[in-house]
């Protein structure tokens, strides 16, 4: 007596339901319906999928989709998003370490410094004129002018990274 061989099912002809496909892929029925409505999976009839085609379409989707249409894929978007997040974290770290300052903080501090310098420089003639009126020696006049200019410039040379911190500036401003 010979045994009849079990009938072999061709995998490319096998049809499965939504619940079965969800179990195979490891997702919910709802998720399978969602990606079907998005056109990622194709039904052969209501609630039925060709197993081989559905699995291949799901793998292609999970890898980011086809690249022949020239449009960015989901994976491209996700990669770009992660790159931006990493760049933002690096910038935030550099700012916390005092290696990076916000443009508006730098602008505010520089405006304050230059405004103060301008006031000091413009005050030199008014302050020194009475002292220099009676001076005869050129060397004394040059020395007093140089000292006044150096005093005004000294303010510009005092770099303090804490001044560029928005928090430190708010404390000074009284905000």
Buried b (16+ CB within 10 A) or exposed e, 48-65: ebbbeebbebbeebeeeb
Q: What angle do CA 114, 119, 121 make, to 5 degrees?
A: 90
> 51 and 78 in one domain?
no
| 6 within some domain | no
The whole-number pLDDT of residue 69 equals: 61
Reported as a pLDDT band with limits 50, 70 and 90, residue 67 is low
User: Does the global pTM surpass 0.85?
Assistant: no
The whole-number pLDDT of residue 175 equals: 47
> 153 and 122 in one domain?
yes
> 137 and 96 in one domain?
no
| 2 within some domain | no
> 44 and 91 in one domain?
no
| 3 within some domain | no
Domain extent for 41:
11-62
**What is the C-alpha separation between 118 and 175, in angstroms, rounded?**
25
> 157 and 107 in one domain?
yes
Number of folded domains that form the chain: 3
| 1 within some domain | no
Q: pLDDT by residue (tens digit) across 77-124?
A: 888 899 999 999 998 888 788 788 788 888 888 888 888 888 888 888
Q: Which residue has the higher pLDDT, 26 or 74?
A: 26
- Residue where a domain stops, chosen among 84, 100, 116: 100
């Amino acid at each position: 007596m010979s045994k009849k061989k079990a009938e072999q099912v061709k995998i490319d002809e096998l049809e499965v339901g939504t619940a079965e496909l969800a179990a195979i892929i490891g997702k919910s029925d709802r998720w399978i319906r969602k990606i079907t409505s998005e056109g990622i999976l194709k039904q052969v009839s209501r609630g039925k999928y060709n197993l081989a085609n559905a699995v291949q379409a799901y793998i292609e989707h999970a890898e980011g989709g086809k690249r022949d249409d020239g449009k960015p894929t989901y994976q491209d978007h996700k990669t770009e998003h992660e790159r931006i997040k990493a760049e933002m974290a690096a910038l935030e770290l550099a700012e916390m370490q005092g290696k990076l300052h916000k443009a508006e903080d730098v602008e505010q501090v520089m405006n304050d410094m230059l405004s103060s310098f301008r006031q000091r420089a413009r005050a030199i003639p008014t302050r020194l004129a009475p002292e220099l009126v009676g001076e005869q020696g050129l060397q004394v006049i040059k020395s007093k002018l140089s000292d006044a200019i150096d005093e005004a410039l000294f303010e510009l040379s005092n770099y303090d990274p804490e001044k560029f911190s928005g928090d430190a500036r708010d404390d000074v401003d009284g905000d």
